[in-house]
Amino acid sequence: MGAYILRRLLLMIPTLLGIMAISFVVVQFAPGGPVEQVIAQLRGEATDRLGGGGNDFGGQAQGGGEASNYRGAQGLDPEFIAKLEQQFGFDKPPLERFGLMIWNYARFDFGESYFRSVSVVDLILEKMPVSISLGLWITLLSYMISIPLGIRKALKDGSAFDAWTSGVVIIAYAIPGFVFAVFLLILFAGGSFYDWFPIRGLLSDGVEGAWCAPWSAAFDIADCVTRTIPDYFWHLTLPLIALSLSAFATTTLLTKNSFLDEIRKQYVTTARAKGLTERRVLYGHVFRNAMLIIVAGFPGAFISAFFTGSLLIEQVFSLDGLGLLGFESVYQRDYPVVFATLYIFSLIGLVTTLISDLTYTWIDPRIDFERREV
């Protein structure tokens, strides 16, 4: 097993390099880089100041000089453009920039955001609570609903219960989460009917998250239990309902099919023939084998819910998380944030895949990936 883990870890290196290289090449051909973004802002501000002609930047943005490679750069001093390129690192050849980026990322040095004047790590940590909240709770909720429902559907296979629950699950899966989020917003968050739930942030004004942090000087267990925790779940209720609408469909059907496969096997017939109760057969023999694929997939399901599918929900409910950060970074061409988040998420995804595979061997020691590869 040690050799298998080592091989998987070593394979992560070329995989990460490939992901970063492809993304870097695509970015080189994408129009509207950070230099062009600044130039567009300068040109727009200058136009606003002078009523549509000229600019006024104290000489930095004056003069003609050489023709610039950037659209809209006419009238800006070439030295000013050169300083912008140097500031963003575009004065170096692409290959050198890529090598420097990989070297820094290998040392977990992700630099600073181009437009926010804050380190990328601090920016990600600032947005992390929202994404962790959505990812963690939606994963737990989907498993808490899917597993019992899937088992019940397997036991009632072909019955009316199985038919109508399958219909509900499929319809729920087909409804886009953001559409349902807008419906919840209109119905329960002060849209046109009721004003029961808040629509901004994880906590209300005046409610301190530090009350629930034991390492904080403001830690207060009474305020944490009576104010922070209820307020936290009050803010999360509608986003979690919107996300969970389609989150449990796949796991429910997977659980059902997995249990059906195991129930029809010979060892179940043998266990019943020995006089074991149906409950003992189901939860003493079938459950472990049937849940192998479900439980082993938990790390991947959490990471998937953690990093994907929440952008539109964050927009609808004004939650400032990683999904919104990624979208704004791409839109603003904030390359340090774009590439750093891509690197971090790709690395976490690869490690999570390895953990999922190792979870299979932990749940069922009969599985040996190393022996299978020989």
Q: Which of 66, 44, 64, 65 is nearest to 55 (CA)?
A: 44
* SS3 call for 189: strand
Rounded to two decimals, what is the model's pTM?
Answer: 0.72
CA distances (Å), origin 45, targets 70, 85, 232: 17, 20, 41
Q: How far is CA 41 from the centre of its chain?
A: 30
Q: Which amino acid is at 188?
A: F
* SS3 call for 63: coil
Q: Which of 97, 102, 94 is nearest to 14 (CA)?
A: 102
Cβ neighbourhood burial of 29 (10 Å; 0-12, 13-18, 19+): exposed
| φ, ψ of residue 119 in degrees (nearest 5) | -65, 150
Look at residue 89 in the predicted model and tell me its pLDDT.
Answer: 72
Full set of structural domains in the chain with CATH: 34-91 (no CATH), 121-373 (1.10.3720.10)
Residue 227's CB: how many other CB atoms inside 10 A?
Answer: 18
Joined together, the tokens standing for residue 216 give 């904080």
Give the E-state strand segments of the chain in sequence order.
none
Look at residue 363 in the predicted model and tell me its pLDDT.
Answer: 66
Cβ neighbourhood burial of 332 (10 Å; 0-12, 13-18, 19+): middle
Q: Which residues of the chain have pLDDT under 70?
A: 1, 41-77, 80, 84-85, 87-88, 191, 296-297, 299-310, 363-374
Q: How far is CA 352 from the centre of its chain?
A: 13
Q: Which amino acid is at 119?
A: S
Look at residue 206 in the predicted model and tell me its pLDDT.
Answer: 75
Residue 224's CB: how many other CB atoms inside 10 A?
Answer: 18
Joined together, the tokens standing for residue 60 give 């930095």
Look at residue 51 in the predicted model and tell me its pLDDT.
Answer: 45
| φ, ψ of residue 75 in degrees (nearest 5) | 95, -10
Look at residue 21 in the predicted model and tell me its pLDDT.
Answer: 92
